Amino acid sequence: MNFRKAEFITSAPSIKECPEESLPEFCFAGRSNVGKSTLINKITNQKKLARTSNTPGKTQQMNYYKIDDEIYIVDLPGFGFAKVPKKERDRWGRDIKQYLLMRKPLKLIFHLVDSRHNPTGLDQEFFYWMASKQKPFAVLLTKADKLSKNKLTQSEKKVNDVLSKMNIEVPVIPCSGDTGKGVQEIQSLITEFKDYDLNE
C-alpha cells in the first residue's frame, strides 16, 4: 500500500448502516480530542480528509474512509466527553462495542492515548476489554511532538507498565499527526494486518 488515494465514504450511526463487508477495516478509537482526525489525515497523506475540531465529541458516527481502494479506515466516536448527554454517550458506547465485536472485516484496533497524560480509567478498561475479547489492537501515543524525549520515554513506559500488569503484549507507538512521527510504523502495521485472517 502507498497510502496515496483516500476518499470519504459514509458516516454510519450504527453497525446496520456500515458499508458492505468487502474490504479489511482498521478502526481508530480513543477519548475525544486525542487527535484521531489529525493522525488519520497524516497517515493517508491528506490535509482535510478527516474533519478536525477543538470541540470534544464532534465525531458522532463511524466515519468510513477508503484508502487505495484496498482498505477502510474507520474513525470511531470518541469516548469520555462531558458535554454530551449521558444517554447519548451510552448509546455510542453500545454502538462502538457492537461494531468491535461483530464487524467481521475488522483487522486491527488502534487505541489512541494522549502521550501527555497517564492512561485514564476508561483507557485501561478499554485495554482490558479488547484483550478479554481477543481483539488485536495497538496503542498509539498521540501528540508525541509536545513532549521532550525523556518525557515521552516515561509516558511510553507508563503505558507498557499498565499493559504488563494486565498481561497484555501489544505494540505501543509514539506518534504525531503534526510531525508524522510513528506514521510509517502505523502504515506498516496496516499493511501487515491487511491480509491477516482473524478467523484462522
Write the pLDDT tens digit of every residue in 170-189: 999 999 999 999 999 999 99
CA 147, chain centre distance (Å): 21
Rounded to whole angstroms, the Cα distance separating 51 from 151 reads: 29
Cα separation, 149 vs 40, whole angstroms: 23
Instruction: Identify whether the C-beta of residue 62 lies closer than 8 Å to the C-beta of residue 55.
Output: no
pLDDT at 19 over 60: yes
Question: Strand pairing of 62-67 and 6-12?
Answer: antiparallel
pTM listed for this prediction: 0.91
Query: Which pLDDT belongs to residue 39?
Result: 95
Domains parsed from the chain with CATH numbers: 6-193 (3.40.50.300)
Phi and psi of 196, rounded to 5°?
Answer: -80, 125
Residue 85: per-residue pLDDT:
66
How far the first Cα of the chain sits from its last, in Å, is 23
Note the pLDDT tens digit of each residue in 34-73. Answer: 889 899 999 999 988 987 654 444 557 899 999 999 999 9
Task: Give kind and range of the element (H or E) at residue 121.
Answer: helix 121-132
